[in-house]
Structure 1
Amino acid sequence: MKISSRTEYGLRAMVALARMAGHERPVPLRAIAEAEAIPEPFLDQIMAKLRRANLVTSVRGVNGGYHLSRPAEEISVGELVRVLEGSLAPIACVDDADPDSASCDLYAGCHARSVWVRVTKAIARALDQLSLADVMHDDVPLQV
């Protein structure tokens, strides 16, 4: 499974937003873009999508910007990824939201499909258990 730049930048932007202000004051888009080295026009598109999903709210005007719509502890990484990526399913036949997922002739009896169901559930569980606050305070070494 490959995560898009939109999701990578979206998570970084949300963590930066939580660190900079959380709920208290709006953070200008430019400040987030500069802090995270994200192209501002692309970040604008991401934030619009997050705003429509009620993960952030925006304030217009000279002192405007963005802030989280709820505390960082209440926003899961899974929710964020679903908003920006869509389904977490690595292949179409395990995507419950895809009406064509059952179009494969082997759908009902495919033994390989069970592998992808397990992978999808494991990914969802792992991402849903992480909040933005967890990511902000994560002390895991960044070596892979």
Structure 2
Amino acid sequence: MRLTTKGRFAVTAMIDLALREHSGPVALAAISQRQQISLSYLEQLFGKLRRNELVESTRGPGGGYSLGRKAEEITVSDIIVAVDEAIDATGCGGEENCMGDETGRCMTHDLWASLNARMLDYLNSITLKSLVDDQLARGVAVEEAAIKRAISSQPVLKPIKITAPNSVFALGNVFNK
């Protein structure tokens, strides 16, 4: 199995999101800054995570992403597979044509297929919630950001003080003084 940055970054970003989602939707720009992951790369990953219903997006001011399911229902395997990361150690991608022709499987195919099954079992056994709990147990600080979401139903009335001339004639008077 080759786990690329795509899978690692997706899992990291999902942990960051799960740590902070109790305050409302989390902006990708904030995750990008905290985790040092390119914003455009995160946008690509979260598009795939959203299509696989692992996250939900909220548009507009105060918008961002939140989990699409409970953290205890999302596994590391779900995240990795959602971003198109193959969990496969065989040379043939599970097609059983390792030799590239009709001769079939290579001598080590069963070994790698068995490793695939164990990796998948392991990654299916780790939930996002357990990863979040591990981070909290390690003392990771989760800052409480001020939430600026609601717009008051009552307008704020402030007196308006006009300091500019309101006509061409008033403007001329300013220069004549």
Considering the TM-score relative to the shorter chain, is it more than 0.5?
yes
2:2 counterpart residue number: 2
**1:1-144 paired onto structure 2 within 5 Å:** 1-21=1-21, 25-93=24-92, 95=94, 101-102=96-97, 104-107=101-104, 110-138=106-134
Classify 1:35/1:138 alpha carbon distance in 2 versus 1 (closer, same or farther; 3 Å). Answer: same
On the 8 A contact 1:94/1:116 being kept in 2, the answer is no
CA distance in 2, matches of 1:84, 1:40: 16
Partner amino acid, structure 2, of 1:10: A
CA deviation digits over 1:36-94, x for unaligned, max 9? 11111111111111111111010100111000001110000011111124431122435
Quote how far apart the aligned CAs of 1:3 are.
Answer: 1.2
CA distance in 2, matches of 1:25, 1:113: 47
Contact 1:93 1:107 in 2 (8 A): no
Q: Report the CA distance between 1:4 and its aligned residue.
A: 1.2
* Aligned CA distance change for structure 1 residues 71 and 112 (closer, same or farther; 3 Å): same
- Bigger fraction of residues in helix: 1
Cα separation, 2, equivalents of 1:138 and 1:51: 25
User: How far off is 1:2 after superposition?
Assistant: 2.4
Q: Distance in 2 between matches of 1:122 and 1:104?
A: 27
Structure 2 residue identity aligned to 1:90: A
Distance 1:129 1:8, change over 3 A: same
State the alpha-carbon separation in 1 of the partners of residues 62 and 96 from structure 2.
Answer: 46
Identity within the alignment, %: 28
Give the SS at the match of 1:137.
helix
SS of alignment partner, residue 108 of structure 2? helix
RMSD, aligned α-carbons: 2.2
Equivalent pair of 1:6/1:46 in contact (CA under 8 Å): yes
- Give the structure with higher Rg (CA): 2
Contact 1:3–1:85 at 8 Å: present in 2 too?
A: no
TM-score normalised over the length of structure 1: 0.83
Query: Does the 8 Å CA contact 2:90/2:113 hold for their aligned counterparts?
Result: no
* Cα 1:94/1:65, change in 2 over 3 Å: same
Question: Would you say the 8 A contact 2:57–2:66 is kept in 1?
Answer: yes
